[in-house]
Amino acid sequence: MLAAVASVQFGAALAKTLFDDLGPGGTVFLRVLFAALLLLVLWRPRVGGRPRRDLALAAAFGVSLAGMNLSFYGALDRIPLGVAVTFEFVGPLGVAVVGSRRALDLLWVVLAAAGILLLSDFGDFAGLDSGGVGLALLAGGFWAAYILLSARIGRVFSGGSGLALAMVVASVLLVPVGVADGGDALLQPGLLALGAAVAMLSSAVPYSLELEALRRLPEPVFGVLMSLEPAVAALAGFVVLGQDLRARELVAILLVVAASAGAARGAPAAPRDA
């Protein structure tokens, strides 16, 4: 899980360097496409003979992947990486809170709300692009769906075969926006190489690691470790992109991390198949 967190956030920072040439749509299309090709070669999933409900689950997982990645990259084009991931983390936090019934969860909601308000300068989004904030929150909704579907995919499909099928679905869905945004630049060898690197860091490696982690860890523990995402995103934005954050924004990120960790720790583990 720790390797997955670091990989996906530094991959996102690298992806932002491609936006000038490919745009967010072209970048996310290359990322998902290369990841799908790699996973297909690695796992060679079989479609024939599988129940329709399994294929429908993989398709739904693919929709969540396409939506999560596209909306997040759109947000990343407008607001800093650490800020985008903090807003996006409303999704995983919601999953953790809904999964728990303790009175203490009210504290985590208050902490998260305080972090979001502090990040937005107490409700005033004048310093942030409102469209970027909206896209980050939308990505959070898709991220919540991804968490719930990922656990089911790991129980239904062996290895990474379900993930491979889902990535193919996501690639097909992203073709129109990818071609429209990237155009001829999608054929430049240097950009293709960087796109492949982003695919490895942001999709193939972390998604595979998360699937394996969900087979070994209770979902609350998984959520606690995932709560490090906003902090690691802020670090990646600083190291790779030179995005400085003010003290107020750093405190806001830490509040959301603390709220997410606390809520995830108290969430009950979902029943697992043998």
Within a domain: 258: yes
More confident: 113 or 71: 71
Instruction: State the Cα–Cα distance between residues 44 and 38, nearest whole angstrom.
Output: 10
Q: What is the mean pLDDT of residues 16-32?
A: 93
Residue percentage of the chain with pLDDT more than 90: 35
Residue 101 covered by a domain: yes
**How many domains would you assign to the chain?**
1
274, part of any domain = no
In a domain, 108, yes or no: yes
- Is residue 16 included in any domain, yes or no? yes
Q: Quick one: tokens of 152?
A: 């089911």
Cβ-contact 34, 196 below 8 angstroms: yes
| Least confident residue range of 47-56, 121-130, 255-264 | 121-130
Give me the pLDDT at residue 270, please. 40
Whole-number pLDDT of residue 233: 85
In-domain check, residue 273:
no
The answer to whether position 271 is within a domain reads no
Tell me, yes or no, whether 215 lies in a domain. yes
| Residue 105: per-residue pLDDT | 67
Cα angle value 59/138/68 (rounded, 5°): 40
Sign of the CA dihedral 88, 92, 98, 103? negative
Q: Model-level pTM greater than 0.85?
A: no
pLDDT at 264: 62
Q: Which domain holds residue 99?
A: 2-266
